[in-house]
Amino acid sequence: MGVLELLLETGFWVATVRMATPLLFGTLGELICERAGVLNLGIEGIMAAGCMGGWCWVYLGGSLWGAVGFAAAVGAALGLVHALLTVRLGLSQHVTGLGITMLASALSSFAFRMLLPKATTPPKITPFAAMDIPGLGSIPFLGPVLFGQTPLTLLALAALAVTAWVLYRTPAGLALRMAGENPMAVESQGLSVHAIRTAAVMAGSALMAVGGAFLTLAAFDAYYIGMVNGRGWICIALVVFASWRPGKALLGALLFAAFDAVQMRVQQQAGLAIPYQVYLMMPYVFSIVALVVMSRRAAYPAALLVPFRKGER
Amino acid sequence: MRQSQTVLRIRGVTKRFGPLVANDDVSLELRRGEMLALLGENGAGKTTLMHILFGHYRADEGEVEVMGRPLPPGSPRAALDAGVGMVHQHFTLAANMTVLENVTVGTRPLFSARLRQGAARRRLADLSARFGLHVDPDARVRDLSVGQRQRVEILKALYRDTRILILDEPTAVLTPQEGEQLFATLRLLVNRGLAVILITHKLREVMAASDRCVVLRHGRVVLRTATHETDADTLARAMVGGEVPRVGRRPGEPGAEVLALDGAVLCDDGGRTLLDGLNLTLRAGEILGIAGVSGNGQAALADMVSGLLRPQAGELRVHGRAVAAPSPAGMLALGVGRVPEDRIGTGLVGDLSVMENLVLEIYRQRPWSRWGLLDFSAMRRGARELIARFDVRCQGPGAPARQLSGGNMQKLILARVLSGNPSVILANQPTWGLDVGAATFVHKALMEASRAGAGVLLISEDLDEIFQVADRIQVMHRGRLSAPVRPDEADAAAIGLAMSGHGDARSEAARAS
């Protein structure tokens, strides 16, 4: 079966959109942080924390939507830690972010082991079911691809719309973008750069954690250690690919997910003629190539990575 | 219609930075509809005082009252709400965003759902029209000229119903024409009842535009007077604290050729011609002034002499020998000292200390390093000596260079360059944005170096400066240089015309030769 045929198959697109969902959450979250001028390398760990937190909430008897809320809260709390260190104290954003990733990943595994010291197979929960919307679901192609997903996919698209609206159409978004371009311009207009950046990092981190929670609450029905598997780092690359624009972030997430879906299909069909690692590698090779091509004309937020210290010349 | 209503009262403000007292018991009053000039040399405490008023710094002592009500310290928001607006010397605009976005940020409640750019656009257009501040609201700030950016800064303040407008060195970055336009606008604002504080050290502007003057020196108020009751000399003496130093020219005896360009041609990546066959000869012991409006190839000329760019045709000679592959380190080794145009960007490393900046070009030599290790105690000793010799006002050899004022940064660069005893000195806009005292210091230092045998290539937009210190003058226009003339033979008006490209016979002659 050729790739062309694959692209015409509805099932392929259903898988693509499903796999793009956590990436879209993560990329939007990272984009919000970076637009305010803060690189958040804690994303990989924050997604792991959301993954574990969401699963845990349901495992301990909570509702699915409660789990989404709890994951967001965990993410926001980790974002607050990142913001305190990088915004208030002006520490290195790279080092702090990597530290957050290590802390949050390890805490997630630790909490899992504390909760289930003897489990050999991860216990299952009942995840979000695919939606069954009368009418909408029976539209050809779009029905299954968009409305046959779990509600979290629609939530991701809603988050995209809200992010774009807030960034470009509200005073808060204007201030956030300007804090990432020239913090002095914001401070001299009587706004607090620290407050804006802290809020942006917390909101972005909450979105990342919801992206992580998608893995346990919708894509799969159990938690296992190492589940995020580098998706956070992919989101960092996708932000550059997207040139810090929400609309392009959707495109990037879909493109990467499509490569991943193609890779899985081809791998199944080609058998073992080629080592399977080669297929696994494909989406990452794509992301490197896309980065090289796109980032050549990417316009970074001018004040990304630059801490703002009040009263300093 | 003038009312003598006091809008601003500063009482007994003192501000210390470590052992440095930036403001020492400063008091002043500002009335509605007047323009107050705040004068002083660099480091006299003008900018610090305004930062306190605007809430960027907190005063250690004293208080600020706006419209009869005390202003809470340390809050730009409170200052803005009280009607204080400030146009900083270094603009606070986001270059990648539009004029409208820069003007409106923070003017609406943060958590409203709409930006209401339509209403903002109308208000901005109305203000632009009323005060003659024309600028395209949808243009990105990075595409605007410096003069237009300043208009955006003023509009930002007016948009917020500012009643007290502070301008910090507003003409330092403007062409004379833009400066005149600015003062016309300010007059209009004052006539409508605004109160304006003009921070400057240009006495001509003060005498022409202001109603009252306050002079600061070493953080203290030393003179307070109505402008029509004083004159430029009195103000200058108050600023410097004595007689104004004057630089005397001396007839020089030029020696051997130290630097020469022979038909140097340079194009940029897009194929645009930057330098179009430059000819110049710099001899030992002379100062060669390159006059001209910036943007006519001065940057390329300076980069070439610094070894950053290689001429695509023609020859660059140092001490009579052609330099085939110029490099910054190579030119340095040949004895070319550089005072670059951009002090903060290329002249100094702001986050490094004063002493580290002093050894940037020689740190690999003894005694600054031994066996590959830096000798900090030797650096500190050397730095103390140079700080004293060049009168660099700073908290000590370990202070970060970015904390220095503009004049002291330039003294630091001069200390680094001159302590290496260069035989060629490239000085690109060396007094740009400096006050009289610091500029005089720079001129004296350059003249002393030339008397000691160095050749000085002085690139400047300031014709007065060129006439004051140069032995020969060449005018740069569109990548070409006119033939050299001596200042006593030259006519300032003719040179001014050559600068604007209204041809002169001598540059034609130079091209033909």
Asked if residues B338 and B430 have their Cβ atoms less than 8 Å apart, the reply is no
Q: Which pLDDT value is given to residue B147?
A: 81
Reported confidence tier of residue B250, pLDDT bands at 50, 70, 90: low
Instruction: Specify the CATH superfamily of domain B6-240.
Output: P-loop containing nucleotide triphosphate hydrolases (3.40.50.300)
Q: Which pLDDT value is given to residue B245?
A: 58
Q: Which of A101-110, A165-174, B335-344 has the lowest mean pLDDT?
A: B335-344
- CA distance to A53, A209, A222, B247, B476, per residue, from A64 (Å): 11, 14, 13, 81, 73
B76·A174 Cβ contact <8 A = no
Residue B207 Cα, gap to closest chain A Cα (Å): 30
Q: Does A312 reside within a domain?
A: no
On whether ipTM exceeds 0.90, the answer is no
Q: Does A303 reside within a domain?
A: no
As annotated, the residues of chain B forming the CATH 3.40.50.300 domain(s) are 6-240, 257-481
Q: Which pLDDT value is given to residue B511?
A: 42
Q: Does A307 reside within a domain?
A: no
Q: Does A183 reside within a domain?
A: yes
Instruction: Specify the CATH superfamily of domain B257-481.
Output: P-loop containing nucleotide triphosphate hydrolases (3.40.50.300)
> Which of B54, B56, B110 is closest, CB to CB, to A175?
B110
Q: Does A301 reside within a domain?
A: no
Q: Would you list the DSSP string of B342-362?
A: -IIIII--TTSBHHHHHTTTT
B248 CB burial (10 A radius; 0-12, 13-18, 19+): exposed
Chain B CA closest to residue A309: B56
Q: Does A309 reside within a domain?
A: no
pLDDT in tens, B332-344: 999 999 999 888 8
Angle (CA) B95-B353-B94 rounded to 5° is: 5
Region B291-318 average pLDDT: 88
- In chain A, which residues touch B (CB < 8 A)? 169-172, 174-175, 177-178, 181-182, 184-191, 299, 301-302, 310-311, 313
pLDDT in tens, B207-230: 888 999 999 988 899 999 999 998
Domain containing A15 — which CATH number?
Answer: 1.10.3470
Asked if residues B488 and B505 have their Cβ atoms less than 8 Å apart, the reply is no
Give the best residue of B57, B92, B159 to mutate against chain A (max A CB count within 10 A). B92
Asked if residues B314 and B348 have their Cβ atoms less than 8 Å apart, the reply is no
Which token pair is A20? 């793009």
pLDDT in tens, B422-444: 999 999 989 887 877 788 889 99
Region B144-165 average pLDDT: 90
Domain with A243, as residue range(s), is 3-132+147-294
Q: Which pLDDT value is given to residue A73?
A: 98
Residues B466, B469, B473, B479, Cα dihedral to 10°: -50
Instruction: Please state, in angstroms and rounded to a whole number, the distance separating the CA atoms of residues A71 and A54.
Output: 5
Instruction: Please state, in angstroms and rounded to a whole number, the distance separating the CA atoms of residues B176 and A223.
Output: 70
Instruction: Please state, in angstroms and rounded to a whole number, the distance separating the CA atoms of residues A166 and A162.
Output: 6
- In chain B, which residues touch A (CB < 8 A)? 51, 54, 56-58, 75-77, 79-81, 86, 88, 92-97, 101-102, 104-115, 156, 402-403
Reported confidence tier of residue B503, pLDDT bands at 50, 70, 90: low
Count of domains for chain A: 1
Residue A143 CB neighbour total at 10 angstroms: 15
Q: Does A141 reside within a domain?
A: no
pLDDT in tens, A228-245: 989 999 999 999 989 999
Instruction: Please state, in angstroms and rounded to a whole number, the distance separating the CA atoms of residues B287 and B426.
Output: 10
Q: Does A102 reside within a domain?
A: yes
